[in-house]
Structure 1
Amino acid sequence: MTDNVKCNLPPHPLSGSITGEYWQNDDGSVRVPAILKHPDRYSIVKRDILNYKWNPEDFLLLSYPKTGTHFTWEVMNMLLKGTAEYSKQPKEALMMDLFALSESSKYFPSPRTINTHYRPDVLPEEFRKAKTVIVLRNPKDACVSWHYHEVNISANIDPARRGSLSSLSLSDSIHRFLYDKDVPYGSYFDLTEYMWSLRDQPNILLIFYEDLKLSPVDTIQKLNEFMGTDLPPEMIQQIADATEFNKMRNAKLNFAPSEDALKLMKAQQRDPQLAKKITDKMYRKGKIGDWRNHITVADNEIFDRFLAEWSGGKDIPFKY
């Protein structure tokens, strides 16, 4: 699944070839490595995904890692609550990839936004019929953000992964991002191309991270209409103001999780202090075009050649 000529790197520490765990579509033509940050919990998480019955009051948020999931989830949560107040329930508590849905449901009732990085065709039919918000972000910023997530966060969650990730150069990360498909959730490009193909389905709203940044009121209003929350213009403006990146980041740095969130973390054997450290590093910059400050001229040429050959992305209106 990896182009070994162009990506001469050891396997990702959570690659499917190492864990042996994949999610696949109905005919087996699409296989993506499962996320196994906590292998002892994975069997429970997998069981709950396979057995889950979708609540029509809920929404599904789908995105590739580091493409605006936290940002969009916070906006959607505010729309559902009808307030511009920040949530005290962390997004991760409703992330079906990591937290068992049967346990999350005890503490976070509907209506709510369940989030995942898995593509919908590898999930059970229950999830494919959900009202779903898809978020896309330009691949260069996504790649840089993914690199720093791996180095600053993933490498510190599990000491066994620290050596292979903490020393990873951005150049290596770029080559892995472009050519390695045997990474958690699979290839950014495969998933993005597939999600773009769903944009006209009636249960799907596809938005761009960059539009949330550049035209927040208009984009939040699209979410407001799609979700049927019917909030007035003044509340949409308040939500746009509250979710300005630096304002939201500063609020989250002083984040105090709800009692229900603490109970859920305890039930799933999670360390709240570790969760706090992760939150502190999760909101990095959130800028559009920050890739220019990181990707070298030589690596950018490699990136551009790849994009020129990526036929599935030619019609996607990315903003760089």
Structure 2
Amino acid sequence: MEVPPHPRGGTVTNCYMVSEDESVKISALVVKEEGFKAVVNAVKTYEWKDEDFLLASYPKNGTNFLWEIMTMLLRGTSDYIQDFKALCMMDLFPVTKLDTDNLFPSPRVLNTHYRLEALPAAFHGKKTVLVMRNPKDVCVSYFHQESKLKFEKAGEEGNVVQMTFPEYMRIFLYGQDMPFGNFFKYCEYMWTLKDKPNVHFVFYEELIKDPIGAITKVNEFMGTERSPELIAQIADATTFSKMQQGKSQQGHDNTALLNVLRVDATAMKKTLSLMFRKGKVGDWKDQFTVADNELFDAFLEQWTGGKDIPFIYV
């Protein structure tokens, strides 16, 4: 099957996250090559803080929700976190700056979209929450984000993708050169970690359908010992509609922070607005044609590596 190349894949940017033994090489999401080099150097030299947590997820799997919930649990509040999440996104911001520039003190939740096998040993075996979402909804959500989001590259600004959904779906299913790698390879590896005592799995759909139950389990895993009353308040505050309204404006008027992140207010506001589109379980049904669904199901039938992952599609 002919697969269109991803416009910002590793073959275009020549930027990869590579494991210490060089056995794992994953295409990186690159805003600017100079910035990516700083990110890689920071990841390689970072010294883990034992009071911190790692949140691992593929893009569009509920990252923002879990980060907010975990940080609320750490701080014992249901108020929205005012410290900016992008600072903890170690794939895009030099993680060492959190301490050297006193930007986001521990305890904190660091976040990565890379498979953990690509990260240095400092991040292995740490207290980690992994979140997964059914691949059909991930594909739709990622398509809409990449179709709208603009990044600067080599001094030029342009659309990330200009393609139809069926074209994008083929990249998602069969492409091996997407930024952060192939979703299905991601899931295959991460699912092998499910029984490790330092790892807690969350399915996005469970978080949406039973937020109190899902947050209670995260609270127990993190050892934060928050009350049922606070957990209920956090569950209410992090419903999709409230998160969309409460978080989409955050940080775009903070000049000092925008200077640190090297973006302007307009770009930041646009980026934040794209983080929360629908959050709906089963949104793929509104996007897929019959032909799309047949192709996707044929792929899933042949995908042996994910047969025992209990994805929730509705």
Q: Given the alignment of the two structures, is residue 234 of structure 1 paired with residue 229 of structure 2, yes or no?
A: yes
Sort the Cα spacing of 1:258 and 1:239 in 2 relative to 1 into closer, same or farther, 3 A. farther
Hey, what does 1:252 align to over in structure 2? 247
Distance 2:98 2:310 in 1: 36
Deviations 1:144-196 (A, max 9, x none): 0000010111x35558463561x221111100000101111110000011111
Sort the Cα spacing of 1:257 and 1:274 in 2 relative to 1 into closer, same or farther, 3 A. closer
Distance 1:312 1:253 in 2: 36
More helix by share: 1
1:68 counterpart letter in structure 2: G
1:72 to 47, 66, 71: 66
1:66 counterpart letter in structure 2: K
Q: Normalising by the residue count of structure 2, what TM-score does the alignment of the two structures yield?
A: 0.94
Distance 1:103 1:164 in 2: 28
Hey, what does 1:40 align to over in structure 2? 34
Hey, what does 2:174 align to over in structure 1? 179
The offset of 1:256, in angstroms, is: 4.5
Hey, what does 1:142 align to over in structure 2? 138
SS in 1 for 2:138: helix
Question: What pairs up with 1:47-66 in 2 under 5 angstroms?
Answer: 47-66=41-60
2:209 to 204, 208, 214: 214
Question: What pairs up with 1:152-163 in 2 under 5 angstroms?
Answer: 152-153=148-149, 155=150, 160=156, 162-163=158-159
SS in 1 for 2:49: coil
Sort the Cα spacing of 1:294 and 1:161 in 2 relative to 1 into closer, same or farther, 3 A. farther
List runs of 5+ in structure 1 lacking aligned partners. Answer: none
- Alpha carbons 2:148, 2:160 under 8 Å: kept: no
Sort the Cα spacing of 1:124 and 1:266 in 2 relative to 1 into closer, same or farther, 3 A. same
Distance 2:76 2:122 in 1: 27
Distance 1:163 1:238 in 2: 39
- Alpha carbons 2:133, 2:311 under 8 Å: kept: yes
2:300 counterpart letter in structure 1: L
Hey, what does 1:199 align to over in structure 2? 194
1:18 to 1, 5, 12: 12
Sort the Cα spacing of 1:200 and 1:265 in 2 relative to 1 into closer, same or farther, 3 A. same
Sequence identity of aligned pairs in percent? Answer: 45
Deviations 1:228-247 (A, max 9, x none): 11001000000000001011
The offset of 1:252, in angstroms, is: 1.6
Sort the Cα spacing of 1:160 and 1:177 in 2 relative to 1 into closer, same or farther, 3 A. farther
The offset of 1:27, in angstroms, is: 4.5
Sort the Cα spacing of 1:97 and 1:135 in 2 relative to 1 into closer, same or farther, 3 A. same
Deviations 1:243-302 (A, max 9, x none): 01011111123435696xx53431342223311221122200000001000011101100
1:292 counterpart letter in structure 2: K
Distance 1:246 1:268 in 2: 27
Distance 1:161 1:218 in 2: 43
1:296 to 275, 289, 293: 289
Distance 1:91 1:234 in 2: 25
Distance 2:202 2:176 in 1: 24
Q: Given the alignment of the two structures, is residue 269 of structure 1 paired with residue 262 of structure 2, yes or no?
A: yes
1:289 counterpart letter in structure 2: G
RMSD: 1.7
Distance 1:307 1:64 in 2: 18
1:131 counterpart letter in structure 2: K
- Alpha carbons 2:151, 2:160 under 8 Å: kept: no
- Alpha carbons 2:240, 2:279 under 8 Å: kept: yes
SS in 2 for 1:162: strand
Sort the Cα spacing of 1:255 and 1:265 in 2 relative to 1 into closer, same or farther, 3 A. closer
Distance 1:222 1:163 in 2: 40
SS in 1 for 2:158: helix
The offset of 1:127, in angstroms, is: 0.5
